[in-house]
Chains A and B, each alone.
Chain A
């Protein structure tokens, strides 16, 4: 046994010890990458009976409403439009197919690694209308803000964004206020926290009295994070710990936050299944409104709805485990997904499909 294995063993022993004290505990990991890493490293299966890990609304594609997907597909069908999007989005089924299927029918849909690439495309293709699908949490929002500022400085008349960014903290507050799921503590997303900082979570700890810890994605950090949460809970405390201090600072990245604030303002936004959550998204400020694809193309983001039989809406709120969905691994698979949680590699259903089923079958 090497040092790292010995350390892990010690942390797992500590978790088992702590699990004997406060009774059953439910911890929610808020980030899709945590969900995948907890499975991948086997940590999920190491949890003692008294400690349950729930997946939360942490996969950007999964929380995006069907209305947004349909609006993106609708505008993709216009001959002058090129959709520029992160790869995860193109396979999410909309009312009349996914963006990938629209591409098969002749629509221009381009996968980009960065919002910068969308601006570059618009600059080099003045005859095309480039629409960037601006989705994701606070990790991708600074890139969208910089792209809009860049388009503004270049005076681009053929670049817009379909604003779909979501903010993490209002979603946590929504889940806690709804009270449908018992949550004792949160394993908070490492890379969102690089941007927003540790202090941003104080309201979750103080107003809702929930244990919080910011953790990275390495096994030791996740185990450490779980120990921190259980220790807080056992002691009846609720504070924000940070086991990822090498990357996450108390105030986050102020330069990135200023960029977001320059371009966007908090706005009421519709989430998949969770409905409208006040001030939980980002809308372009008046100064940058001309980069809004909704305005330029007269689009309307319609109401959210579930694809028939799909229960992704319950899954992202921690109300349902994927295996309890009747479509899971039968009609809905990574090769032929019905809902977004099976599409995205960060989706809870995709993680269960890849790692959880093997465990059940073993």
Chain B
């Protein structure tokens, strides 16, 4: 629950309310909507560190790629697409 994952912002949509703006974020092929309220500076093309549906930070690309490589190697993301998928089907 405390593992954040990096993704690339593909598109920013103006979101209404406290969780907006909303970013469409690509996680190595899986796209999800992510709240950008805590990273107002993030724009399309930026890498963000995402946790529980919200971006917590903007990262540089090299760091993001290194993190992904490690997460994959360590098998820490194996549950992630499933979790995201289940959440998305529910939502």
Contact = CB atoms under 8 A, between A and B. Distances in A.
A113 B37 contact: no
Contacts of A88: 1
Contacts of B28: none
Given A40-B74, A246-B60, A255-B38, A112 B18 contact: no
Contacts of B91: 112, 117, 120-121
Nearest to B84: A113
B10 interface: no
Nearest to B53: A114
B67 A112 contact: no
Q: Is the interface of A mostly helix, strand, loop or mixed?
A: helix
A135 B90 CA distance: 20
A218 B3 contact: no
B35 interface: yes
Given A88-B1, A150-B17, A143 B54 contact: yes
A152 B19 CA distance: 12
A88 to B, nearest CB: 6
B17 A149 contact: yes
A154 interface: yes
Interface residues of A, number: 57
Contact of B19 (A113, A116, A189, A253): A116
Contact of A194 (B1, B53, B57): B57
A195 interface: yes
A149 B1 CA distance: 22
B52 A247 contact: no
B90 A140 contact: no
Contacts, number: 151
Nearest to A112: B87
B24 interface: no
Contacts of B83: 87, 111, 113
Contacts of B17: 149-150, 153-154
Contacts of B56: 139, 142, 191, 194-195, 253, 256
Given A37-B74, A111-B83, A86 B1 contact: yes
A43 to B, nearest CB: 11
Interface in A71-91: 86-88
A159 interface: no
Given A37-B76, A112-B90, A247 B35 contact: no
A211 interface: no
Contacts of B39: 253, 255
Contacts of B88: 113
Contacts of B86: 87, 111, 113
Interface string B50-91: 011110110110010011001100111001000110111011
Residue from B18, B63, B67 with most neighbouring chain A CB atoms (10 Å)? B18
A342 B86 CA distance: 22
A259 B32 CA distance: 22
A67 interface: no
A40 B75 CA distance: 9
Given A146-B19, A146-B37, A255-B37, A113 B74 contact: no
A316 B81 CA distance: 29
The list of the 4 closest CB pairs from A to B, nearest first, reads A114-B53, A113-B87, A149-B18, A256-B38
Given A195-B56, A218-B67, 13 more contacts: A87-B83, A111-B86, A114-B87, A116-B35, A119-B19, A143-B52, A149-B19, A150-B17, A150-B18, A189-B2, A192-B2, A194-B56, A216-B67
